[in-house]
Structure 1
Amino acid sequence: MEEVNNNMEEPLSEYGRYTYADYLSWQMEEMVELIKGKIFRQAAAPRVNHQRVSGIVFTSLFNFLNGKKCEVFAAPFDVRLPVKSKKHDDIDTVVQPDICVICDPGKLDELGCVGAPDLVVEILSPGNNSKELLNKYEVYEEAGVREYWVIQPSEHTLLVYTLVNGKFSPSRLFTHGDIVRSDVIKGFSMDLEEVFKDV
């Protein structure tokens, strides 16, 4: 499987290793992410229930954070997770979380975020579960994302991973009737009846 880069003569290979500098040179119609130098592309636009859930969660966070230091962003929004340095040639992981909250304004620049967001929310869609649950889990943990929410619209569930001593610790599985509270965004809570009411 190869992906054609409209801005370069050489095709992009799923087996190649790329950096953020490469990423900036591509002109692709579909959304792509880099995880440890490997290309991951979104096969299709998110489904209706994905967008319903995303809108409710984003709006809840936006309203709660209005006037506060932390800011919430929704995809498409580049989050670069540097390991060695912040140079474009050294960064090999660029992800676009469905929703993320950043409380350190020093991590924001005109290109997006450089460094770990405080809270990341990923909403699963058919076909992306392994990417979210395996690849992104690993890079979010390594980068130091303090809280990682994984929402499964088709199952009406939410799982919270909280960073404890550098490792993610999972919550119980939340579903209808539960109110989920964030340990990182103090005072923020979300009623899952509201989140899943139209899903």
Structure 2
Amino acid sequence: MSIQRNEDKHFTFQDFLLWDEGSRYEIFDGVPVLLATPTTKHQGVISFLTIDFGMYFKGEECRIFPSPFTVRFSEEDDYENADNVFEPDISIVCNENQLDQYGCKGAPSLVVEVLSPSTSRNDRIKKYNAYQKFGVSEYWIVDPLNETVEIYILDEGTYKRWNAYGREDMIRSKQFERITIVGEEMFSYGE
């Protein structure tokens, strides 16, 4: 089923399941939003982080899921009818009870979004606000064009910018202190 834009329709996860396979949409507060076509550098950053995170979490309870991987948010914990359905670039889920055949129900422990020019506003505003509202503990915004990483930490329900890094830095997680990412290697992967 293709997506029909309808100003009066409030879309949910049930609609998402009926869309054509390969549809590249997310749902923000019931409204479908087209995802960007990723660049090689965008995918290189995701690949690099997935590999590095995978080495860090090997043998641990947390699991790493690169996109496409569906994360559903619901104020009423009704994940079958969630009206916020995202596909973060990377999700780290540390509670296996959140996982089902479709992805993650509720907030992953850490989310990474790699900016694309056409969707960076969504990542910086809409997703930032949704991740904050629904309790994502740590949110990384990676900008492959400017080669920066901003890390936000949830503190009493509000995001605080914990740190910002550039290409020349060693990037560290607040929540997972042993994670150390070499900025130079991450930003050059896929160039």
TM-score by length of 2: 0.93
Change (3 A) 1:171 1:83: same
Instruction: State the 1:186 CA deviation.
Output: 3.5
Corresponding position of 1:74: 66
Instruction: State the 1:133 CA deviation.
Output: 0.6
SS at match of 1:185: coil
Within a 5 Å distance, the mapping from 1:28-43 to structure 2 comes to 29-43=22-36
Corresponding position of 1:139: 130
1:62 to 54, 66, 83: 54
Instruction: State the 1:189 CA deviation.
Output: 1.5
1:18 matched to 2:11? The reply is: yes
More relative contact order, 1 or 2 (CA 8 Å, 6+ apart) = 2
Within a 5 Å distance, the mapping from 1:32-181 to structure 2 comes to 32-43=25-36, 45-89=37-81, 91-181=82-172
Aligned residues of 2:162 and 2:174 also touching (Cα < 8 A): no
Aligned residues of 1:17 and 1:37 also touching (Cα < 8 A): yes
Change (3 A) 1:24 1:196: same
Of 143-152 and 11-20, more deviation after overlay is shown by 11-20
Instruction: State the 1:170 CA deviation.
Output: 0.8
Aligned residues of 1:30 and 1:42 also touching (Cα < 8 A): no
SS at match of 1:135: helix
SS at match of 2:165: coil
Corresponding position of 2:20: 27
Structure 2 portions without partners, runs of 5+: none
Of 103-112 and 27-36, more deviation after overlay is shown by 27-36
TM-score by length of 1: 0.89
Of 97-106 and 77-86, more deviation after overlay is shown by 77-86
* Whole-Å separation in 2 of the counterparts to 1:57 and 1:183: 16
* Whole-Å separation in 2 of the counterparts to 1:180 and 1:96: 23
Aligned residues of 1:120 and 1:149 also touching (Cα < 8 A): yes
RMSD: 1.6
SS at match of 1:13: coil
Structure 1 portions without partners, runs of 5+: none
SS at match of 2:80: coil
Seq. identity, %: 31
* Whole-Å separation in 1 of the counterparts to 2:126 and 2:87: 13
Change (3 A) 1:16 1:130: farther
* Whole-Å separation in 2 of the counterparts to 1:101 and 1:113: 10
Instruction: State the 1:29 CA deviation.
Output: 3.6
Query: Residue type of the partner of 1:67?
Result: G
* Whole-Å separation in 2 of the counterparts to 1:194 and 1:26: 37
Change (3 A) 1:193 1:141: same
